[in-house]
Amino acid sequence: MQRELTKAEVERLFVGAVDDALDAGDAETFRQVLAGDAELKLRFEKYTGAVKALKELPREKAPPALASMILRRTKRRRSMFRTLATHEATYRVPVEVIVPLLIAAVVAMFLLLATR
């Protein structure tokens, strides 16, 4: 026995039904559900009409320089991040300097507290 589909599950099948991409079992279940629910059938008809209207629209050709514009933008973004990484690496204080300074600060605090 097959379980009943919820309305949300049936609506997710709209895409496959319009493209005839549903397998035989799903297609049969889909048709049965639509036959039993007038609201879903109306929504499917509206969806089908919208898809047909979109398919009938003339296709627009992409501008010839679109690919080069996209490549230029991505290179610019990459170079910006590379510049930040280089800047960080250039002005970073090495660990060999930080560790002795921290040890000196701890010893100085210990000596100050010990003399009181």
Q: What is the pLDDT of residues 6-62, one digit of tens each?
A: 878 888 888 888 888 888 888 888 888 889 889 999 999 999 999 999 999 998 888
- In the chain, domain spans: 7-56, 66-115
Q: What is the 3-state composition of the chain as percent helix, strand, coil, each rounded to the nearest 5?
A: 75, 0, 25
Q: Write the CB contacts of 84 (distance below 8 Å, at least 6 apart in sequence).
A: none
Rounded Cα gap, residues 44 and 21, in angstroms: 15
Rounded Cα gap, residues 62 and 35, in angstroms: 42
pTM for the structure as a whole: 0.49
List, for residues 94-103, the tens digit of each pLDDT value.
778 888 999 9
Residue 102: predicted pLDDT: 92
Residue 82 has pLDDT above 90, yes or no: no
